[in-house]
Chains A and B, each alone.
Chain A
Amino acid sequence: MTTSPSDPAAGAGPAADLAVVGAGPAGLAAAVTAAALGLTVTLLDAGARPGGQYYRHPDPALGATRPQALHHDWKAFTGREAELRAYERAGRVRHLPNRQVWSVTGSGADWTVHSRTDDEAGQPVRARAVLFATGAYERQLPFPGWTLPGVVGAGGAQAMLKSGLVLPGTGVPPARAKPRARGRVVVAGSGPLLLAVAASLAAAGARVPAVVEAAGYGPYARHTGTLLRNPAKLAEGARYGGALLRHRVRPLLRHAVVEAHGTDRVEAVTVARLDHDWRPLPGTGRRIPCDALAVGHGLVPELSLATALGCATRTAADGTAALVLTPGLRTSVPGVWAAGETGGIGGAQLALTEGEIAAHSIAGRAVPAALVRRRARLRAFADAMGAAHRPGGGWTGWLPEETAVCRCEEVPAGRIREAVEELGATDARTVKLLTRAGMGWCQGRVCGPAVAALAGGGPAADRRPLACPVRLGELAELPVD
Chain B
Amino acid sequence: MPNRHSPDVVIIGAGVVGAACAYYAARSGLTVAVVDRGPVAGGTTGAGEGNLLVSDKEAGPELDLALLSTRLWRELSAALPPETEYEPKGGLVVAPDEPALQALRTFAEGQRKAGVTAAEIPADRLADLEPHLAPGLAGGFHYPQDAQVQPAQAAARLLAASGAALHLGEEVTAILRGPAGAVRGVRTPRRELLAPAVVNAAGTWGGEAARLAGVHLPVLPRRGFVLVTEPLPRVVRHKVYAADYIADVASGSAALQSSAVVEGTPGGPVLIGATRERVGFDRSLSTEALRRLAAQATALFPVLAGVQVLRAYHGFRPYLPDHLPAIGPDPRVPGLHHACGHEGAGIGLAPATGALVAAALTGAEPPLDPAPFRPERDFGPADAPTQEQQS
Contacts and interface: CB of A to CB of B under 8 A. Distances in A.
Contact of B311 (A424, A430, A443, A479): A443
B40 interface: yes
Chain B facing A: main interface SS: mixed
Interface stretch (A232-240, A255-263, A432-440): A432-440
B290 A105 contact: no
A478 B39 contact: no
A425 B39 contact: yes
Interface residues of A, number: 40
Nearest to A438: B311
B42 to A, nearest CB: 6
A393 B40 CA distance: 24
B294 A475 contact: yes
Interface in A171-213: none
A473 interface: yes
A134 B344 CA distance: 36
Interface string B146-165: 00000111001101100000
Interface string B277-310: 0000001111110110111011000001111111
B313 to A, nearest CB: 6
A476 B309 contact: no
B227 to A, nearest CB: 7
B39 A427 contact: yes
Interface stretch (A27-35, A223-231, A265-273, A464-472): A464-472
A308 B282 CA distance: 11
Interface residues of B, number: 49
B78 to A, nearest CB: 20
Given A424-B14, A425-B39, A430-B39, A472 B307 contact: yes
A433 B152 contact: yes
A481 interface: yes
A303 to B, nearest CB: 15
A305 to B, nearest CB: 10
Contacts of B312: 465-466
Interface in A131-149: none
A443 B310 contact: yes
Interface string A440-481: 110100000000000000000000111001111111111111
A433 B41 CA distance: 8
Contacts of A439: 228, 267, 269, 310-311
Nearest to B298: A476
Interface string B227-239: 1111100000000
Contacts of A471: 305-309
B291 A429 contact: no
A310 B283 contact: yes
Given A103-B285, A481-B288, A470 B308 contact: yes
Contact of B285 (A105, A426, A430, A480): A105
B72 interface: no
B287 A478 contact: yes
Contacts of B298: 472-473, 476
Interface string A409-425: 10000000001001111
Contacts of A371: none
A374 interface: no
A441 B232 CA distance: 12
Nearest to A431: B39
A250 interface: no
A480 B311 contact: no
Contact of A480 (B41, B269, B284, B288): B288
A19 to B, nearest CB: 16
A472 B311 CA distance: 11
A113 B342 CA distance: 36
A424 B22 CA distance: 14
B228 to A, nearest CB: 8
B273 to A, nearest CB: 13
A219 B166 CA distance: 40
Contact of A472 (B153, B166, B284, B309): B309
A436 B42 contact: no
Contact of B229 (A103, A472, A480): A472
B90 interface: no
A439 B310 CA distance: 8
Nearest to A103: B285
B152 A430 contact: yes
A236 to B, nearest CB: 39
Contacts of A423: 40, 156-157, 159-160
B334 interface: no
B38 interface: yes
B305 A465 contact: no
Nearest to B48: A433
A422 to B, nearest CB: 6
Contacts of B305: 471-473, 476
Contacts of B313: 465
B314 interface: yes
A470 B284 contact: no
A466 B283 contact: no
A471 B311 CA distance: 11
Contacts of B351: none
Given A309-B284, A441-B230, A478-B291, A430 B307 contact: no
Contacts of B304: 472
A114 B287 contact: yes
Contact of B287 (A309, A464, A481): A481
A440 B286 CA distance: 23
B235 to A, nearest CB: 12
Contacts of A440: 231, 310
Contacts of A464: 311
Contacts of B160: 422-424
Given A105-B284, A310-B283, A426-B169, A469 B310 contact: yes
A476 B294 contact: yes
6 contacts: A424-B40, A469-B310, A471-B307, A472-B307, A475-B291, A478-B294
Given A471-B309, A475-B294, 12 more contacts: A105-B285, A424-B39, A425-B156, A433-B41, A439-B267, A439-B310, A464-B311, A466-B311, A469-B308, A478-B287, A480-B291, A481-B287
Interface of B: 14, 38-42, 46, 151-153, 156-157, 159-160, 166, 168-169, 227-231, 267, 269, 272, 283-288, 290-291, 293-295, 297-298, 304-314
